[in-house]
Amino acid sequence: MRKFCGSSASFMVFAAVLICAPVSLAAQTRGAAPAESRPAAAPPSSARPTSDVPPGDVSARTSLDRTAMFVADRVTYTIEIACRRGHDVLADDLARDKLKLDGLEVIGSDVVRHAEGDVTRYEFRYVLTTYRVDVPVLKVAPFSARYYVKRTGQRLDDAPPAGSVQVPGAVVAFRSLLPDDQPTYTARDDRPAAPRAQRFRVLQPVGLGLILFSIAPVGLLALAGVRRARQRRRSATRRSLRQARQASRVSLEAVRAADPASTDERRDAFARLDALVRQHLSDVCGVPAANLTPSEITAALTARASAAPVELASFVLGTCEVARYAPPALLPSASVWTDTLAQAEQVLASGR
């Protein structure tokens, strides 16, 4: 009986332990849960870590507005530099010519600066493109940019660099409709063109006829314009001939009134008479007499069958040439001047 009671007591103690153990464990769990789930106290605003504040003094990150491109497409590669107060990055190290590109070309760039509390941010944007088809992967290699510590009264260029920040690179996949691993690319298909429909073959001569019909009025108007231009040119030529004769008479009167007495005056008078005769032959006879010798002028007047006295004009020009370039001993006399003046008057009075 005692053995049975002892066994019963042991059994009851064991059962009580089994029953109370889960209850105690649950109580401990309930008591610990509020401590673990209780939110931690927020740190002061000055020490609050945020993703906007760079982990170091100067940090850099890059981004692309697209990850793949075709030929002549454009992709924007952006470098964001964050500098804490008292630090600044050297912008020359981020110039467009400092980019290490593989298969890409820079066609535009700009920079934007933002000040956000204790952090200054720079955004360097580069517009890139490619015109190559032999580069399957387009790359921007990583590079480093120097930064400095700002000091009062010291320029940024004069300060020694405090360190450098690594700028990550970028990779742009090249996607094209052209097949890969092809040595050459034909510009056009080798297949023959498809034959035209019957209605288009019939309409071809009709279209050509309409084009010719529309061109005919334009041609007639152009022909009429040419005729009117010729008539105006002829009338202007007639007026110029009258003006040329009138100018020749006025110039001849001025030369005749000179009455040269000395050697220099006579030489100058012969030169003025030579220029007058040459100008008359150019205006009236259409011969470029200003740049020709007397013999060449004679040949040109003969070829044109001009009404001007050819031999008389040649004699007058030859005498004037001797008077202009001969030494004083061979200078024509005053009587020769009078005779040459009379002969020149006959040349100037001639027509076309």
Q: Is the pTM of this model over 0.85?
A: no
**Side-chain half-sphere CA neighbours of 288 within 13 A:** 2
Strand ranges (E), the chain: 58-64, 68-69, 74-84, 87-89, 100-102, 105-116, 119-129, 137-141, 143-149, 163-167, 170-174
Residue 5 has pLDDT above 60, yes or no: no
Residues 131-157 pLDDT 10s: 888 888 899 999 999 988 877 766 666
pLDDT value of residue 49: 35
Amino acid at position 350, single letter: S
Mean pLDDT across 329-336: 83
pLDDT digits (tens, 9 = 90+) for 253-296: 777 777 777 888 888 888 888 888 888 888 777 777 877 888 88
User: By C-alpha distance, which of 97, 152, 158 is closest to 126?
Assistant: 97
Q: What is the pLDDT of residue 235?
A: 59
Residues 62, 139: Cα–Cα separation, whole Å? 13
Q: What are the extents of the domains in the chain?
A: 58-174, 237-348
Residue 196's pLDDT is 81
Options 3.40.50.300, 3.40.50.720, 2.60.40.740, 1.10.1660.10; CATH of 58-174: 2.60.40.740
* pLDDT band with cut points at 50, 70 and 90 for residue 187: low
Distance (Å, whole) CA 16 – CA 28:
18
* Whether the predicted pLDDT of 335 surpasses 80: yes
pLDDT digits (tens, 9 = 90+) for 11-54: 454 444 444 444 443 444 344 333 333 333 333 333 333 334 44
